[in-house]
Copies of this chain bind each other. A is one copy, B any other.
Amino acid sequence: MSADISLAVSTAIFALRPHPDTGLSALWIPLVRRTRDPFENRWALPGGWVSPDESLSDAAARNLLETTGVEPTYLEQLYAFGAVDRSPDRRVVSIVYWALVRPEQADAATDGDNVRWFLADDLPELAFDHNLIVDYALWRLRTKMEYSRIAHAFLGPTFTLTELREVHEAVLQRPLDPANFRRQVEPTLVATETLVTGGRHRPPRLYRYDESVRLVDNGPLTIATPRSTP
């Protein structure tokens, strides 16, 4: 039996916002300041306990909204963290999700005393094993960017090829050759009739993803993205 094990959910949420030094897009993550022991005053991933009457993804979405006000465009289970000593005062197994939000959603979750956005690659020492969890979530995000259309969740419904490339560059943290990038992604895109106006000689075209292909292939599992949460 497992009556002595507490089950929690936590979520690593990523958004792209400008880096304060360079002005270029960078990955940010919202953290919550702990108001009690263990690790009082340390920053931690938003999360909480699972209620007996809610699924794991519902628990993740509810705790995310309650602690940060964020409703993600993409939510996927990352991993179950269950080392025996990961919490000092009791046994806690955490089912961790990772989520992506668009910049305007990130702006809605304003900083406060107990919620703050941090550069994902430059974090302080977090509570519990949350630095390890963020490292793993970053690795999963960067791996998945290479072979799926995860960048979609960072953008609106239409975007220019330059905007899409800049998302990939910000997540992967390296410049990409524009011509090569165009060749790789164009088969997954649908060109709209709309050009971006603004006085340039050759106004860029807006694209959208081909919706007949699923955003991320999770095989036989349907991973629900929470559209509305109570």
Q: Which residues of A contact B (CB under 8 A)?
A: 1-8, 49-56, 77, 79-80, 82-84, 91, 93, 95, 132, 135-136, 139-140, 143, 147, 219-221
Contacts and interface: CB of A to CB of B under 8 A. Distances in A.
Complex copy number for this chain: 2
B132 A220 contact: yes
Nearest to A59: B82
A95 B94 CA distance: 11
A1 B6 contact: yes
A146 B70 CA distance: 36
Contact of A84 (B54, B84, B95, B143): B54
B91 A52 contact: yes
DSSP majority for the A interface? mixed
Contact of A56 (B77, B80, B143): B80
A198 B53 CA distance: 63
A56 B219 contact: no
Given A79-B77, A139-B220, A220-B136, A53 B84 contact: yes
A220 B138 CA distance: 10
A115 B83 CA distance: 30
Contacts of A1: 6, 49
Given A2-B6, A139-B220, 5 more contacts: A2-B52, A56-B82, A77-B80, A136-B220, A143-B219
A186 to B, nearest CB: 22
Nearest to A132: B220
A96 to B, nearest CB: 9
